[in-house]
Structure 1
Amino acid sequence: MVRKHVIVSGRVQGVFFRDTCRQNALARGVSGWVRNLPDGDVEAVFEGPEERVAQMVEWAHQGPPSADVAKVEVRDEGPQGLSSFEVLPAPRP
């Protein structure tokens, strides 16, 4: 099990990024969450088998068809045993 924390920059809000991310994660059996950030970026955590998490990180570099991803920052974190994938509300500024 691995956990990756990603920040995706570019035209990634208002293009169904979060819902498409959730659908892709569920299809791959990856747990975690995704949310919009106030600065226009999208933040996500992917947790699960290494190969499947790598697929989600790769997906984040493209996003859904209407997204225009400019940059993806990836950090390794320790797995926390998540068992679902959720779309979270944006954090309060």
Structure 2
Amino acid sequence: MVQTVSIIVTGKVQGVFYRQSTKEKAMALGITGIVKNQPDGSVFIQATGDPGLLNQLIVWCRQGPSQAEVTSVQVETIEPRAFIGFTVQR
């Protein structure tokens, strides 16, 4: 069974390769979805996959790439969505 989560990551998460690193981690886990920067400085992620693999992505999001300084990660399970691959949106 797959599920979809919406994740909002705050802190120093823009300009530190957070989106690209999220894409690489998600693809390695076989998760599909999107990641994009928000005007308020946060990063928004929607991801679909196996709940156990999504949990691994969420754990990774709390750390992020080496230059990131994550202050919070908000996760909400939402209506399942189908994505093709994992895309960085601008």
Instruction: Tell me the alpha carbon deviations over residues 1-39 of structure 1, each in whole angstroms, 9 at most, x when there is no partner.
Output: 011101000000000000000000001100000000011
1:58 aligned partner: 59
1:6 aligned partner: 7
Q: Gaps spanning 5+ residues in structure 1: where?
A: none
Runs of 4+ in 1 over 6 A off after TM superposition: none
Q: Matched residues in 1 for 2:81 and 2:36: separation? A: 18
Superposition deviation, residue 87 in structure 1: 0.2
Give the alignment's TM-score, normalised by structure 2.
0.95
Aligned positions, number:
89
Q: Matched residues in 2 for 1:84 and 1:11: separation? A: 26
Instruction: Tell me the alpha carbon deviations over residues 46-91 of structure 1, each in whole angstroms, 9 at most, x when there is no partner.
Output: 11111111111111111001100001111111211223100011xx
Pairwise CA RMSD of aligned residues? 0.7
